[in-house]
Amino acid sequence: MDFVEVSAKTVDDAITKACIELKVSSDNLEIQVVSEGSSGFLGFGAKPAVIKARKKEDPILDLEDIKSVFEEKKEENKKNIKHEEINLDKREVKSSEEKKLESPGVQTTQRIKIPKTEEDIVVMKASAQKFLDSVFHSMDMDVDIEMSYDDMHECLNIDFSGDNMGILIGKRGQTLDSLQYLTGLVVNKDQETYVRVKLDTENYRKRRKETLENLARNIGYKVRKTKKAVSLEPMNPYERRIIHSALQGNKWVETYSEGKEPYRHVVIALKK
């Protein structure tokens, strides 16, 4: 894809403008700063910032690559766990019936929490470590792995550090998500209750969330001004929920999802 030239008051504004124009988040843009611009003197002689931007090419290791490498492990374990993402999409936007159930005086069924013992946690970490070590060995990567268990959220947090972590993240985090899913299968193989596994590196999850929230607000503003709906790029259920949540309280625009996986995407439209 060819570069497009975008100008704005500041470089940051130009990047945001490019995100809206190309319909991608900033971490999926290849950016070249042509001019940082200047504010001039007392407003006179001001020059805009100019950048060139285009969508990034697919990473060296993509979703299909990692899926094919670990397909055997996936088939072996998938019978022992309920797929976490089955319910994620259903929770994107609470329906009116769900809201009624949350009203005062209405009882709702809550899942019973069974605390993990120290032995359970040790077994989980050992299983994850063994699997991930074999993965990174096959990829010829030297990766440091840190783990901690969050008992409150029943989640095993795993953080990676090392060189070339962008390979593990992949396009829109797809490689990291696939590795997270497979690690979850391995960890939950011998567990009586489901444990969520969260993989992260270089604080990618937080940065991606902030990028999507910023994109949602900017597109929402654009939709309000132009009165034209905008369809975003395909996203996984978790990222679509971020978009929905970012604009949930907006009185001008609404959000909904369209399409089928893996091409399901969020549409931001003016409220009727």
pTM surpassing 0.85?
no
185 and 229 share a domain?
Answer: no
Q: Is the pLDDT of residue 133 over 60?
A: yes
Query: Which comes out higher in pLDDT, residue 103 or 235?
Result: 235
CATH number, domain of 213, equals 3.30.1370.50
Q: How many domains does the chain have?
A: 3
> Does a structural domain hold residue 109?
no
230 part of a folded domain: yes
Q: The domain spanning residue 175 has which CATH number?
A: 3.30.300.20
Query: Based on the domain organization, do 79 and 184 belong to the same domain?
Result: yes
Q: Are residues 17 and 85 in the same domain?
A: no
How, if at all, do strands 196-201 and 155-162 pair? Answer: parallel
Q: Is 45 a domain residue?
A: yes
The model's pLDDT over 42-79, given as tens digits with 9 standing for 90+, comes to 556 678 889 888 887 654 444 455 555 455 444 544 44
- Determine, yes or no, domain membership for 108: no
Report the 10 Å Cβ neighbour count for 173.
Answer: 22
Instruction: For residues 98 and 171, state if they share a domain.
Output: yes
Full domain range(s) for residue 216:
209-272
CA distance 108 to 259: 31
Assign 218 a pLDDT band (cuts: 50, 70, 90): very high
Whether 231 and 181 share a structural domain? no
Answer yes or no: do 247 and 135 share one domain.
no
Q: Is residue 190 domain-shared with residue 228, that is, in the same domain?
A: no
Checking if the pLDDT of 128 tops 50, the result is yes
- Between 27-36, 136-145, 234-243, the lowest mean confidence (pLDDT) is in 27-36
The residue assigned the tokens 């969260």 is: 198
Judge if 122 and 182 occupy the same domain: yes
Q: Please, which residues have CB within 8 angstroms of residue 220's CB and are 6 or more apart in sequence?
A: 246, 247, 250, 252, 253, 268
**Same domain (yes/no): 53, 67:** no
The rounded distance, in Å, linking the Cα atoms of 7 and 150 is: 45
pLDDT tens per residue across span 147-165 = 999 988 889 999 999 988 9
Same domain, 14 and 91: no
41 pLDDT more than 70: no
Note the pLDDT tens digit of each residue in 90-120: 455 444 444 444 444 444 445 566 777 888 8
**Is 196 a member of any domain?**
yes
Do 87 and 164 lie in one domain? The reply is: yes
User: Is the same domain home to 50 and 68?
Assistant: no
